[in-house]
Each structure stands twice: as structure tokens, then as C-alpha cells.
Amino acid sequence: DDRSELVGVEPAGGAAIGECFATVSKVKDGDLKGWGAAWEETATRIEETAASAESEGHAISAADAYLRASTYWRAAGFFLERGDENRIAFCKKQRHCFRSSLRLAGVALEAVDIPFENGKTLPGYFIKASATNEPRATSIILPGGDTTSEEHYLMSGQAALRRGYNVLLVEIPGQRLVDDCPVYHP
């Protein structure tokens, strides 16, 4: 259930409990379109807050808001049908906000392509635990079928980095949220 995942990333800065409760209070049970619209409204507002903070030179506040906006954009697109025109747009906004957050927080995020099969690659992110080139163990994190690398950064990537591990987040084939969203590289 996507509701518990939203609240579950709050300790990592990926959501604010009050923002989550205020958003879901606008949704009637079973109203998937209403779910998307409510989260789109929240994501837009929080992304605008982040952009304003960034333009005023408040990098930490902007990074925090962008990280929450990334989660909210994912929530907005979670129940959209494959053919919905907002699906790709929300995916792009999720990734833009995520990358903006980490950039402003000083986290060195590198978009990577992992060779796969038949000349295809798997998109992902590589994040070093420190700026040094000191050899370190790397935690390889593969999101499930209904999650994204950005979400798994919050669920386990941050914890691995804090413990001194490099992190490789890799999208796997068949993920219904990302199959149509080839926007890892700027």
C-alpha cells in the first residue's frame, strides 16, 4: 500500500507526516484519480517552496523540500494508467526533484548505465560514501516492481552511506513505474 510507504520514508526526509495526512484527507476511498490530483497539488506546492528557497540561497531548506516533493510526485503518479499523459511527466518531476535535492545537499550522485543483455542497459545511480577514492564496500540496491531507485535511496541507500558504504541503485526490467520513463540522464 503506497500510503504506508509515504509515511515510512519520513525519517529519511522523504515526507512530512502532516503533509501526508493533509493530502490523503482530500481523497475519498477508492478514488484513484482523486489520489493523483491531491498528491499533484502537494508535490507542486512543495516543489515551488523548494525552488523559492533555492533562489533565495537557502540550500538546506531547498534540498529538504525537493526530497519531499520527489516522494510526492511518485505518489501522484503511482496509480495512473500506463496511457495517462501525466505518468511520464510526474516521473520526470520526481527525478528532477530528487536530483536537485541531492545536488543541494552536496551528495555526489552519478547517473550510470549497467550493461544488461542484447545491448540494453539498466539505468541507475552510483553514490560514493565520501569524496576520497579510498576503496570501500558497495551496497547494491535493486528496487522492487513498484518502487524506484529514488525511493530506495530513502529506504536503505542513506543508511548504507552513513555507514561508509558506497551505494549502487539499479532499476530492473519490468518495473511498472519506470519502464516508460527513460529520463535518468539529463
Please report, in tens digits, the pLDDT of each residue of the chain (186 residues total): 455 567 888 888 899 999 999 999 999 998 988 999 999 999 999 999 999 999 999 999 999 999 999 999 999 988 888 788 888 899 899 999 999 999 999 998 999 988 888 888 888 899 999 888 888 999 999 877 677 889 889 999 999 999 999 999 988 775 545 445 544 433
Query: How many other C-beta atoms can be found within 10 angstroms of the C-beta atom of residue 9?
Result: 23
Q: Which three cell numbers stand for residue 116?
A: 544488461
Neighbours of 171 (CB within 10 A): 22
**Using CA atoms, how far apart are residues 105 and 64, in angstroms rounded to an integer?**
8
pTM: 0.89
From residue 2, give the alpha-carbon distance in Å to each of 6, 75, 135, 146, 150.
6, 7, 37, 9, 15
